[in-house]
Structure 1
Amino acid sequence: RDEGPPAEVVEVSTFLHACEGDAVTKLTNEKVPYFNAPIYLQNKTQIGKVDEIFGPINESYFSVKMFEGVIATSYNEGDKFFIDPMKLLPLSRFLPQPKGSTPRGGGRGGRGGGRGGFGGRGGFRGRGAPRGRGPPRGGGRGFRGRGRF
C-alpha cells in the first residue's frame, strides 16, 4: 500500500516539539490530514505518519508517529512538514453546518438500512407467513443478522 512519494507535496504543518518520540505539529493547511497519512519533508522524504489530531477546529494540531530511525527531537520549532494533497480532507467534513453532510450520514444510516435488510426479514415474514409459523420469522436469517452485529 505504500505508493512511494507523491507527485507533489503541500505544506501541512510546522513542528512545535517532540513528545514521547512523536512530533507535535501545528496544522498550517486549511484542510485536515487523513489519519495515518504519510508526512514528508519538502524533498519528499517520508518521515512518519499522522497519528492523532487534536485541538479546536480553528487551531488544530496533530502528532506525527516517526518512522524507525527518524528522531523527532532532531527538528526545530517552525520546521515545515508536507503531505500529499490527496491525503487532505476539507474542514467542512467536520463541521455541523452544511446540510449536505447529514444526508451523507443518512446514507450511512441507509447502509444500516441495508442492515434493515432486517426489514428484508420483515418481507420474509409476509411472504412465508405459513412458514413463519414454524421457525421464528425466518430463524436462520435472524441468526445471520445477529452474527453481523
Structure 2
Amino acid sequence: MNIRQQKYKKHLLEGKSKYESALLAGYAKTTALAHTAQLDKRIGIDKVMERNGLTDSFLIEKHKKLLEAVKVIGYLHQYKKSEKGGIEKISPEEAVSNEFIEVPDFHSIAKGLELAYKLKGYLKDRLEHSGKIEGGESKFIIINNGKSNEQQSLIAKIRNHSTAIPE
C-alpha cells in the first residue's frame, strides 16, 4: 500500500467521507469523485471493517432495528373530568402527563430507508450530466403533474412551440 492509500485509509477511519478522504490524501478531484470504489478495494477497507466487528450480518441486524425505530413521548392534557362529572380545562402546570407512549420514529426510519436504497444502488446522492449543447438556446422545464389552469396553459404553450413534449 502506498503513502496516499495509507492516508486515504486513515481519513476514512476517522469518519470522513470517501471524497474528502481522497482529497486529503492527495488524489485529484476526478479520482475523488469517480474512483473511490477502486481505492477501497486496493486498501481493503472491507477487511478492516470486518476485523473490527462490522460484518455484513452485524450491519444487517442493526439496520433492521433502525427500520423499526420507535421513540417514547409524553403528551399534554388540556381537559380533565370535573368533580361534578363534566369536563374542565386544566391549568398549564397540570397539563404535563406522567403517561408515556411509544410512537414510530419516522425520521430514523426514513434515514434507514435512504441508506438501504443507497446501498442497493436505487438512490444516488447526485446525478451529474456533462456535455455541450449546440444549436441555440435550450430550456428545461419541470412540471409537477399539476392540474391548475396556469400549468395547463404553460403546457399548451410549450407543446405549440416544441415537438419534444408528447401529449
Same fold (TM over 0.5): no
Q: When you count helix as a share of all residues, which structure comes out higher?
A: 2
TM-score by length of 2: 0.23
Higher relative contact order (CA 8 A, sep 6+): 1
Larger Rg: 2
